[in-house]
Structure 1
Amino acid sequence: MSTQSTASGVWGGSLGAVTVPARMRATMLRRSLREHPGPTVAGLVGLLAAAWLIRYALNGDQHTLGLLAGAWVLGWIVLPLLLGGGRGRVRPAHLRLEPIGGAPAAIGLLAASAIGVGPAVSLVALAALPVHAARYGTVAVLVTACGAVLLWLLGLIGSAIALEVVGHAGGPAGALLTGVFTGTAMGVAGSLWAVFPWVSVLLVAAPQDVVRAMEYVPSGWPVTAVAGPTGQGVGLMAALMGIVALCAAAYIMLVRRVIATGVPFRPRRTTAASATTAQREWPGWVPAATRAVVGREVRSWTRHPLRVQYLAFAVVYGALLAGLPLLSDVDLLLPWAGTLAVLGAAAMSAGLVGLDGTALWLPFTTPGGERAEVRGRALAWLVLVTPIGVLLTVVGIVLAPGVDPLAALSTLPALLGAGASVPVWVSLLRVRPVADPRHPTAADNPTDIVSVLVATAAGLLAAGPVLALMIWGPPAAAPLLPVVGLLSGVATWWGGLWLADERLAQRGTTVLAVAGQRSRPPEAALPLTWDAQWYRENTSTAWALGLLTLGWIPVIPQGLMPLAFGIDSGWIVAGHLSGSAHTAVGLAMVGLGVAMLLTGLVLWDRRPQPGSRAPSLPPT
C-alpha cells in the first residue's frame, strides 16, 4: 500500500512539475494580451494568411501547398529570433531549482511554448493539408491530419531549440539571422519584377524542378503519402515521425544540459596567440599601430552583433539583386553580384564610429594614433569585404558565361577603394551614438539615411569613370577599363583617408564628445496634416523634404533611364531629342537631380533639433 502511494506521489509530483511551465506561460500571456495589442494584431494578420492558405488548398497545386506549408514552419522557427519572440518565454534556466528531470522539464517547456497566439495560428494554417487531402477520402484526411500535427510539433520544437541556442549564443548568431532575413526581404523587394512572374506560375502549377525538389522536403510528405502508393506513404510518414523524434531527443539533451550547467554549450575562448595572429600576418611596411587597429577591427567585425548583421545583409542583398532576375531568364546582373555586395557593405559601414562610445579616446593617447585608427579601419574593411566581392563576382561570371564581365571586374576595385575609406570619414563626420555600446541591439542602429546616401554616392562616383568609358567611350578603349577602375579606386582610397585624417585630427575631441553621449537628441516632429505655422517656422526642413523626394526624378527616370538603358518614354525629356542633344539633356538631368539631393541633405542636416542638449558636430 505504501509502495503504491509512494509511486502515485512521485507520479503526481512529476506531473505537477510538468504543468508548472504551462501555468507560468498562461499567466504571462494573459497579462501581455491585456497590456499590449501587438500579439492580438499579429494573430489577426496570421489568421488572414492561414485562411488564404486553406482557401488555396481547396483547388491549389499539391507541391506548391507543401512548399507554402514548409515556408510557414520555417518562418515559425526563424521569425521569433528576429522579432524578440524569446521575451515572456519560460526557459530551461527557470527550472534549475525545481526537482525535475530533463525529460519532464522538456515536456513542460514544450507545453508552455504551445500556449500562445503563434502556435494556435500555425495549427490553423497547417489544417490546409487535410483540407487538400479531402479529395482522396476520409482515411487520407486522417493521415494528413497526423502529418500536419507532426509538422506543427516540428515547428514547435525547432523554435524552442533555436530560441535557446541562439539566445545563449549571444548577439552575433541572432544578428546573422537578422541580416540574412532583412537582406532577403530587401532583395526580393528590389527584384519584384523578376519574382512576380515566377510566383504566378508556381501558384498555378509547380514546375518539374520544384516537384523533384519537394520529394526531399518534409512539409510535402503528408500529402504525397496519401496521393502516392501505400508503401511510399508509410515510409514518408515514418520518416517524418523519425525527424520529430530526433528533434525531441535533441531538445531533451539541451534542456538537461542547461539545467545542469546553466548554458547549452561552452563558449569558445580566444587565446592570446589567436588574438595576435592578425597582427603577425601583415607585412613589415604596415606600422605596428595600424596592425593593432586592423586586428581589433577584424575581431569586432566577427563578434559585434550589428557589424555581423550589416555584413550579412550586404552579402545577401547583393547576391539576390543579381541572382533573382534569373527567375525571368535575365542573367545580365550576375557578374555584378560582387560589386552590389561591396556597395551595400560600404553603405552599411557609414556609422560604425557611433558604436565605439568613449573608446575613441585610445587613438588620441598614442603618437600617430589618429592616422593608425583611420588606416586600420579601412584595411580591416578591405580584408573582410574584398574576398566576398571577388568570390561573388567569380561565381556570377561562372553562372553567366555569355555575359561580358569586363565592366563588373573593372568597377570592383573602384568600389573597394571608395568603400574602405569614405565610410570612415562619413562615420567621423556624422557620429550617431548608441545608448549602451557594450550591449547594442537592433534598435541602436547608428547609421542614418544621410550617411548611407553619402557613402553610396561616393561608391557610384568612384565607379563613374569606368561606367562613362564603357557607355560613351570608343570600343577600342575597352582594354583600358581595368586600369581606369584601379586608378579610380586608388584615388578615392587616398581621398577618403585624407578627409578622415583631417576630421579626426582637427575635430577629434568633438567627435569623442558626441560618441560618448548616451542618448540622441529628439528628432524634429513632422506634422501629419497641413500646418502653415509649422512650415513657416521650419522652412529649411520643408525644403529638405521636398528636394529629397523630388531629386530622384531627374536622376533616375529623366537621366539614367535614357542614358544607360535607352528607355525613351513620352514623358522623358531626353526622349524627344537625338544624338548629342539627347546625351547632353540626360547628363544635365542627372546633374540637376544630384544638386537637388545634395542641397536637400545639407538642409536636412541643419534642421532644428528641439530640446537637444547633446553637443552637435560643427559644420564642415
Structure 2
Amino acid sequence: MSAAPATAGPPAGALSAVAVPARMRATMLRRSLREHPGPAVAGLGGLLAAAWLIWYALRGDQHTLGLLAGAWVLGWIVLPLLLGGGRGRVRPAHLRLEPIGGVPAAIGLLAASAIGIGPAVSLVALAALPVHAARHGTVAVLVTASGAVLLWLLGLIGSAIALEVVGHAGGPVGALLTGIFTGTAMGVAGSLWAVFPWVSVLLTAAPEGVVRAMAYVPSGWPITAATGPTGQGVRMLATLVGIVALCAAAYIMLVRRVLIAGVPFRPRATTAASPVGARRERLGWVPAATRAVTGREARAWMRHPLRLQYLAFAVVYGALLAGLPLLSDVDLLLPWAGPLAVLGAAAMSAGLVGLDGTALWLPLTTPGGERAEVRGRALAWLLVVTPIGVLLTVAGVILAPRVDALTALSTLPALLGAGASVPVWVSLLRVRPVADPRHPTSADNPTDIVSVLVATAGGLLAAAPVLALAVWGPPEAAPLLPLVGLLCGAAAWWGGVWLADDRLGRRGPEVLAAAGQRSRPPETVIPLTWNVQWYRENTATAWALGLLTVGWIPVIPQGVMPLAFGIDGGWIVAGHLDAGARTAVGWGMIGVGVAMLLAGLVLWDRRPAR
C-alpha cells in the first residue's frame, strides 16, 4: 500500500498556488502572440535596442552606461502605463476567489509578470552591465551580474506596482504620469536639434556633473561596486538589495489589501472648493445657465483622468519645447513656453464631447441649453488654461530678460481666444466616443489627428496677424501688437462660438447619437507582407501610409536642415544653391512636404472601415 497522496503538505500546496498565476499568464501570452503579432514586432525592436546597449558597453563610458540602464528600467516601469501593458497580465483581483495568502499571491503574480517579451528583453539589455565589467576580471563580472539582476527585479516589481496602483490611467495619479511621460517624449522629439549635441557629448564621456550625480543613481551602483573599493561595493549592493526588499514588501501589502478589501486604495472624498470653482462663483455677469455649465466643466477638468492627462501633456510639452534649447545656449523660445502650452491644450481638447456620452441630452432638452453648453465649455477652458499660459510666459520672460517677449505676450490672448472656442466646435463636428465614459482609460483617448490639426490650425490662424505684423510690419507698429492680439483673440472666440452654436443647434440629435455609441469601428488591418489584393481594396490607406512616410523628407532634411542649421551638400537640393534661391527652394520643400502630410492625413481619415 502506498501513502504517497498523504505526503503532499502545505509547502506543496503553496507552491501549487504560486504556480497558478504563472500558468495563467503563459496561456494568455501564447494566445495573444498567436492572434496579434504586435508584441513580437515590439520585442524585436527592443532586442535591437538591447543589442546596441551591449555593443556600447564594450567600449563606452561607465557612467553613461549606468544612466542608460536606469533609463531602461524607468521606461519599463512607465511605458506599460501608456501602452496598455496591463491588459494582458494577471492582476491581484483575479485571485480574490482563490484560497491563497498575500505572500504566495504576490510571489505568483511577480512570477507571472516575469513571463513575457518585455522582461526577457530587459534581462538581455541589463546584461550590458556585466559585459562592461568583463574588462575588470571574473569577480567584477559576477558582482555586476548580481547588481543587474537586482535592477531587473526592481523594474519587475516597480512595473507591477505602477500597473496596479496607477494603471489604466483610471485615477489622477496615473493620468498625470501618462501626460507627463507623453509630453516629455514628444517635447524631446521636437527638440532633437538641441538635445542631440548634449547626447553626443554624453555618449563620448560623461561630464563631471553627471559623474557626481551617478553616485546617487542605483543603476550605476553595480559597475561602481565592481570597480571601486570593496567596502563601498558591499554598501552599494546592500542598499540596492534593501530598495528591492522595500518594493517587494510594498507590493505584498498592496496584493494583500486587494485580496481582502477588493481595491488597492480608496481615494479620499473632498468637499473643498477648487480655485477654479471659486473663480467661477465670481462670474456674476455670466448667465446662470452658462455659469452652471462652467462650474461642471471646471470640476471635470480637475477630476477627469483624461482631462488631467491633457493638461499635464500640454504643460510639459510647451515647457520642454521652449526650455530644451537652453542645452544649446538658445533662450529665444523661453517666453514662448506659455503660448506653446496653450496651443497644446487647445489641440488636446478637440475631442472632449466624446467623453460625455449620452449626457448631451441635458442641454438639448433645456431651453437655451445649446448656447449655455457651448459658452460654458469655452469659459471653463479659459479659467483652467489662462493661468497656466500666463505663468509659463512670465517665467520665460524672467528667465530670459534679454529676449524681446512682446510678440509672445501679444500672441497669448489670440491663442487663448481660439483655444477656448474652436476645440468646442471641432469636438462637436467630429465626435469620437469612448467605450465607457464612466471609467475612461488612456486607451480610450477620443482625440484623432484630424481634430488635433484643425484645432491647432485655428490657434495659428488667430495668431497669424500678430506674427505677420511682428515679422513684416514697420518697427513703429510694435506698440500695436498687444491690441492686435486681443482683437484676434476676441474674433476667434466669437467665430468658434458661432460655429459651435450652429452645429449643436442644427445637428444636436446627430451629435448625441454619435456620442452615445459604445463600440468603435474596427481598425484597418495593415498586412505585414505584400498583399496585392489588399492594396487594391484599400488604395486610400496605402496612399496615406506612403504620404505620411515620405512627406517628412522634404520637410526635415530638404527644408529645415538647410534653412535652420545651414547644412548643405550631398543630396540636399537647397544646399547646392546660393542666397535667395537656397531660401526659396528650402521653403518650397517645406511647403511640398506639409502638403503631402496633410493629404496623407485626410486620406487616412477617409480609409474604408473593415
The alpha-carbon distance between structure 1 residues 278 and 288, as it changes in their structure 2 partners (threshold 3 A), is farther
Q: CA deviation at 1:290?
A: 1.3
Could you say which residue in structure 2 is the equivalent of 1:430? Answer: 430
Distance, in Å, in 2 between the alignment partners of 1:37 and 1:206 is: 39
Structure 2 counterpart of 1:150, one-letter code: L
459-468 or 479-488, larger mean C-alpha shift = 479-488
Could you say which residue in structure 1 is the equivalent of 2:394? Answer: 394
Structure 2 counterpart of 1:483, one-letter code: L
Give the 5 Å matches for 1:523-562. none
Could you say which residue in structure 2 is the equivalent of 1:167? Answer: 167
233-242 or 517-526, larger mean C-alpha shift = 517-526
Could you say which residue in structure 2 is the equivalent of 1:38? Answer: 38
Distance, in Å, in 2 between the alignment partners of 1:374 and 1:23 is: 52
36-45 or 414-423, larger mean C-alpha shift = 36-45
Q: CA deviation at 1:391?
A: 2.2
Deviations 1:168-227 (A, max 9, x none): 872554443333333223222222222222222111111122112212111001111222
| Cα contact 1:555–1:593 (8 A) shared by 2 | no
The alpha-carbon distance between structure 1 residues 301 and 205, as it changes in their structure 2 partners (threshold 3 A), is same
Could you say which residue in structure 2 is the equivalent of 1:56? Answer: 56
Could you say which residue in structure 2 is the equivalent of 1:614? Answer: none
Structure 2 counterpart of 1:45, one-letter code: G
Distance, in Å, in 2 between the alignment partners of 1:392 and 1:302 is: 19
Could you say which residue in structure 1 is the equivalent of 2:266? Answer: 266
Q: CA deviation at 1:42?
A: 3.1
Structure 2 counterpart of 1:254, one-letter code: L
SS in 2 for 1:286: coil
Deviations 1:302-330 (A, max 9, x none): 33343333323222222222222222222
Structure 2 counterpart of 1:403, one-letter code: V
The alpha-carbon distance between structure 1 residues 145 and 314, as it changes in their structure 2 partners (threshold 3 A), is same
Could you say which residue in structure 1 is the equivalent of 2:178? Answer: 178
Structure 2: gaps of 5 or more residues: none
| Cα contact 1:168–1:264 (8 A) shared by 2 | no
Structure 2 counterpart of 1:470, one-letter code: A
Q: CA deviation at 1:519?
A: 5.0
The alpha-carbon distance between structure 1 residues 99 and 601, as it changes in their structure 2 partners (threshold 3 A), is closer
Q: CA deviation at 1:464?
A: 1.7
Could you say which residue in structure 1 is the equivalent of 2:236? Answer: 236
| Cα contact 1:570–1:576 (8 A) shared by 2 | no
Could you say which residue in structure 2 is the equivalent of 1:132? Answer: 132
SS in 2 for 1:216: coil
Q: CA deviation at 1:593?
A: 8.4
Distance, in Å, in 1 between the alignment partners of 2:94 and 2:602 is: 52
Q: CA deviation at 1:355?
A: 2.7
SS in 2 for 1:239: helix
Q: CA deviation at 1:525?
A: 10
Distance, in Å, in 1 between the alignment partners of 2:16 and 2:531 is: 57
99-108 or 597-606, larger mean C-alpha shift = 597-606
Deviations 1:341-397 (A, max 9, x none): 111111221222233233222112222211211111011111221122122223322
Could you say which residue in structure 2 is the equivalent of 1:301? Answer: 301
Q: CA deviation at 1:273?
A: 7.1
Distance, in Å, in 2 between the alignment partners of 1:326 and 1:311 is: 24
Could you say which residue in structure 2 is the equivalent of 1:403? Answer: 403
The alpha-carbon distance between structure 1 residues 64 and 555, as it changes in their structure 2 partners (threshold 3 A), is closer
Structure 1 counterpart of 2:227, one-letter code: A
| Cα contact 2:357–2:515 (8 A) shared by 1 | yes
SS in 2 for 1:426: helix
| Cα contact 2:543–2:600 (8 A) shared by 1 | no
Q: CA deviation at 1:94?
A: 2.6
Distance, in Å, in 1 between the alignment partners of 2:98 and 2:555 is: 67
The alpha-carbon distance between structure 1 residues 393 and 552, as it changes in their structure 2 partners (threshold 3 A), is farther
Distance, in Å, in 1 between the alignment partners of 2:198 and 2:263 is: 44
Q: CA deviation at 1:548?
A: 13
Could you say which residue in structure 2 is the equivalent of 1:486? Answer: 486
Could you say which residue in structure 2 is the equivalent of 1:222? Answer: 222
508-517 or 597-606, larger mean C-alpha shift = 597-606
Q: CA deviation at 1:131?
A: 1.6
Q: CA deviation at 1:480?
A: 2.7
The alpha-carbon distance between structure 1 residues 593 and 515, as it changes in their structure 2 partners (threshold 3 A), is farther
2:155 is aligned with 1:155: yes
61-70 or 325-334, larger mean C-alpha shift = 325-334
Could you say which residue in structure 2 is the equivalent of 1:213? Answer: 213
| Cα contact 2:551–2:594 (8 A) shared by 1 | no
| Cα contact 1:504–1:511 (8 A) shared by 2 | yes
The alpha-carbon distance between structure 1 residues 307 and 214, as it changes in their structure 2 partners (threshold 3 A), is same
2:316 is aligned with 1:316: yes
Distance, in Å, in 1 between the alignment partners of 2:453 and 2:206 is: 40
SS in 1 for 2:212: helix
Distance, in Å, in 1 between the alignment partners of 2:26 and 2:57 is: 32
The alpha-carbon distance between structure 1 residues 40 and 234, as it changes in their structure 2 partners (threshold 3 A), is same
Could you say which residue in structure 1 is the equivalent of 2:368? Answer: 368
Distance, in Å, in 2 between the alignment partners of 1:168 and 1:189 is: 24
| Cα contact 1:101–1:256 (8 A) shared by 2 | yes
TM-score, scaled to structure 2: 0.84
Distance, in Å, in 2 between the alignment partners of 1:311 and 1:289 is: 26
The alpha-carbon distance between structure 1 residues 467 and 168, as it changes in their structure 2 partners (threshold 3 A), is closer
Distance, in Å, in 2 between the alignment partners of 1:220 and 1:12 is: 39
2:501 is aligned with 1:498: no
Structure 2 counterpart of 1:108, one-letter code: G
* Identical-residue share of aligned pairs (%): 77
SS in 1 for 2:166: helix
SS in 2 for 1:264: coil
Structure 2 counterpart of 1:376, one-letter code: G
Q: CA deviation at 1:147?
A: 1.0
Q: CA deviation at 1:101?
A: 2.8
- Root-mean-square deviation (Å): 4.4
Q: CA deviation at 1:415?
A: 0.7
Q: CA deviation at 1:520?
A: 5.8
SS in 1 for 2:414: helix
| Cα contact 2:413–2:485 (8 A) shared by 1 | yes
2:75 is aligned with 1:75: yes
Could you say which residue in structure 2 is the equivalent of 1:471? Answer: 471
The alpha-carbon distance between structure 1 residues 479 and 557, as it changes in their structure 2 partners (threshold 3 A), is farther
405-414 or 68-77, larger mean C-alpha shift = 405-414
